[in-house]
A and B are shown apart, each in its own frame.
Chain A
Amino acid sequence: MAEAIERIARVGADERLVGVVTLPAKPRPGAPGLLLMNAGVVHRIGPHRFNVKLARAVAEDGITSIRIDLSGLGDSPNATDASHSGQQAIRDLQAAMDHLERHHGIRRFVVFGLCSGAVNGYRLALADERIAGLQMFDGYVYPTWKTHIVRRLVRFRALPWSALARKLVQRLSGQRPVRVLELGEGSDDTHLGIPTRPEFAQSMQALITRGTSVYLAYSGSFLETHNYTGQLRDAFAGAMFLDHVRYDFMPDVDHTMTSLAAQRKVIAATRDWIQSVAAEASARTGTTLASTSGAGSTGRSIQESFSPP
């Protein structure tokens, strides 16, 4: 089987941002390109090299990808102006899309974001109509009353019996105040720039209406805020977008995919979703196999590329 090729990408008007493009040996005609970025402060390879592994996996499906360091992260320098980091991230990702369009003829994109990357992906999708698919892994969370019950139940089950007995004695003797559960607490942190439930629902609906595919995936690392299958449906009961987004709660996968099994699971799910986005794009445009994505047209020197085995 022919191998993918990887190339250095200097992204942006002044080629300030550092990235790597993975070009499939057999590009899927009309398929969107995949955008990958930093999660937190981890450089472009992603936590546990996840971005590299995902990029090479989707290349087997004919998907071109770029993984970049956003301004001030990894090997990319800080932005030259003092703009808000969220706005800068959108500009950086748009520059990455411009790069793939200019060098490889790709005009539609899917974006995978983990944690802070999910927030960046969300903002990008709303700001730029070239985004055909948005995957938010551990993005915004909206707890329900059931979330709080599940959390307490899970914590209760995990306690050793001695600790349980001690807590009971404390409660009965009045040493520990009983906390009154407030429905929906901690869910709408507008002061942090986190969208409220109505805002999030409105954004999801806008993306769906526009034809952007959305995949919301949650790990098992956030017992406090997202802890059962179906939480999204409960949190947004009756919202129209629910029937049109892909949603997964993966309790056996942690936030940064520490185990190889977790990495494989998320990569398989992401590949499947991107394939469906690509299929939709093909159906919509009537793309034929005779067309090409223009991969390999950069003319970069061999010293800037390699073929991953």
Chain B
Amino acid sequence: MFPSFFGPSDRPLFGIYHPPADHAPADRAVLLCNPFGQEAVRGHRIFRVLATRLVRERIPVLRFDYHGTGDSPGSDEDGDLAGWTGDVRVALQELVARSGVSRVVCVGVRLGAALALRGAGGLPETMRLVLWDPVVDGASYLEQLRHKHVEALESTFSVADPAWRASLANDPAAFTSEAIGFALSERLRGQMRELSPQLLRAPDGADIHVLAHPSDARVGEWIASPSLRAARSSHWPIDEPFDWTASQRPGSPIVPAPALSRLMATISG
């Protein structure tokens, strides 16, 4: 496991490269694309476990932090979908250079799914996109984050302030500039609002595997939409819903086994 900063000197990224076991020759490499904010904190352990299992299968892995997230430079306020999409491309090139493998499976989780699709979808090195619980509708995602933020406040304080719920219900602008500990700039919110099932298009011939809970109506709408028509897509239902914004507590299940198994099968198959 090799942590490093990589990429252009004016926008370096923090990443951890996992070489394959025994440095064996590999037929594919895997790029892991983080979700946003608290969901990325929640996803860290999952990605580490996934990477560990993949290298045992002799598949090299790179996981990384977008600009303004994790250990990468930049602040929360620098969040920018266009910039993060570029970060995916930089990371993919880094992975190809480090592993010597030119066929890459991009795994994107939540907002990272949209970034992986946009950033890596059309690149010749991308052999497959595996999108887990993808965020395909930015407006509803932002609304979900508002609710999750208030839920987080209510659960962390011993006594909830009723004004939080009232603001949430009556003021559409309340709890929009931050979400569960992370800033949401006006620019980022604007970019997220433009994300929709109609506009999140897959490139011609892309090999796309979507892992999502069957009740996720937005994902269902996206899969049925013309946006995926040009792609070869498969939908894998994950029956166990996963709360991406929940706090991690010692002893609680932090890596959902069914999803991990499906990810392994989808990446390796």
A49 and B180 alpha carbons, distance in the complex (Å): 11
Distance in angstroms between the alpha carbons of A263 and B178 in the assembled complex: 12
Stretch binding the partner chain, chosen from A183-191, A252-260, A289-297: A252-260
Q: B50 within 8 Å of A by Cβ? A: no
Residues of A within 8 A of B254 (CB): 41
Least CB separation from A222: chain B residue: B158
Residue with the greatest number of chain A CB neighbours at <10 A, chosen from B45, B70, B181: B181
Residues 140-156 of chain A, each 1 if its beta carbon lies under 8 Å from chain B, else 0? 00000000000000110
Q: Known contacts A8-B3, A304-B5, A306-B12: does B71 contact A45 (CB below 8 Å)?
A: yes
- Tell me, in angstroms, the Cα distance from A154 to B45 when the chains sit together: 37
Q: Mark each residue of chain A from 142 to 173: 1 if its CB lies under 8 Å from any CB of chain B, else 0.
A: 00000000000011001000000000000000
8 A Cβ contacts from B1-19 to A: 1, 3-6, 9, 12, 14, 16
Is A223 a contact partner of B3 (Cβ separation < 8 A)?
no
CB-CB under 8 A from B69, the residues of chain A are 49
State A254–B22 Cα separation when bound (angstroms). 46
Decide yes or no whether B159 CB sits under 8 A from chain A. yes
Across the interface, do B73 and A258 meet the contact criterion of CB distance under 8 Å? Answer: no
Nearest residue (CB) in A for B41 is: A42
Question: A75: which B residues are within 8 A, CB to CB?
Answer: 1, 3, 16, 48
Q: Complex: how many Å from CA A116 to CA B158?
A: 19
Q: Are B44 and A43 in contact (CB under 8 A)?
A: yes
For window 66-112 of chain B, which residues contact chain A by CB distance below 8 Å? 69-76, 78
Query: Are the C-beta atoms of B153 and A254 separated by less than 8 Å?
Result: yes
- B198 interfacial contact with A, CB 8 Å: no
B48: chain A residues at CB < 8 Å are 74-75
In the complex, the chain A residue whose C-beta lies closest to that of B70 is A45
B152 contacts the other chain (CB 8 A): yes
Shortest Cβ gap from B256 to chain A (Å): 15
B37-51 CB contacts (< 8 Å) to partner A: 38, 41, 44-45, 48
Is A258 within 8 A of B152, CB to CB?
yes
Query: How many B residues touch A, CB cutoff 8 Å?
Result: 41
CB distance from A50 to the nearest CB of B (A): 8
Which residues 278-309 of A have a CB within 8 angstroms of B?
Answer: 302-309
Question: Is the C-beta of A221 less than 8 angstroms from some C-beta in chain B?
Answer: yes
Contacts of B159 in A (CB 8 A): 154-155, 158, 223
Kindly report which residue of chain B lies nearest to residue A308, judged by CB atoms. B73
Q: Is B183 positioned at the interface, with any CB of A under 8 Å from its CB?
A: yes
Inter-chain contacts of B75 with A (CB < 8 A): 53, 56, 308-309
Question: Which of B4, B5, B14, B70 touches A49 (beta carbons < 8 Å)?
Answer: B70
Distance in angstroms between the alpha carbons of A261 and B69 in the assembled complex:
19
- Assess whether A45 is in contact with B41, with CB atoms less than 8 Å apart: yes
Distance to closest chain A CB from B249 (angstroms):
7
Q: A106 at the A/B interface (Cβ < 8 Å)? A: no
Question: Residue of A at shortest CB range from B149?
Answer: A258
> Smallest CB-CB separation from A260: which chain B residue?
B178
| B170 CB-CB contact with A under 8 Å | no
Q: How far is the CB of A78 from chain B (nearest CB, A)?
A: 12
Residue B269 at the A interface, CB < 8 A? no
> Of B160, B181, B250, which one neighbours A258 at CB under 8 angstroms?
B181
Contact of A220 among B16, B157, B247 (CB under 8 A): B157
Tell me the complex Cα distance, A223–B158, Å: 6
Interface flag for B248 (CB, 8 Å): yes
Say yes or no: B3 contacts A49, CB within 8 Å. no
From the candidates A8, A50, A222, name the one contacting B4 in the complex (CB within 8 A): A8
Question: Which of A41, A259, A306 contacts B45 (CB under 8 A)?
Answer: A41
**Given A75-B16, A220-B158; A256-B181 close (CB under 8 Å):** yes
Q: Is B141 an interface residue (CB 8 A)?
A: no
Flag B236-250 by CB within 8 Å of A: 1 or 0 each: 000000000001111
21 A/B residue pairs, CB under 8 Å, sorted by A: A8-B4, A40-B249, A41-B248, A42-B41, A43-B44, A43-B45, A47-B247, A49-B182, A154-B159, A158-B159, A221-B157, A222-B158, A227-B158, A254-B156, A259-B178, A260-B76, A260-B181, A303-B5, A306-B73, A307-B73, A309-B73
The 10 closest A-B pairs by CB, nearest first: A48-B181, A223-B158, A308-B73, A254-B156, A306-B12, A158-B159, A306-B5, A41-B248, A306-B73, A260-B178
A-B contacts besides A42-B44, A74-B44, A306-B72, 9 pairs, CB < 8 Å: A6-B73, A18-B16, A20-B71, A40-B249, A41-B248, A49-B76, A52-B70, A303-B5, A307-B73
Spell out B's residues near A (CB within 8 Å).
Answer: 1, 3-6, 9, 12, 14, 16, 38, 41, 44-45, 48, 69-76, 78, 149, 152-153, 156-160, 178, 180-183, 247-250, 254
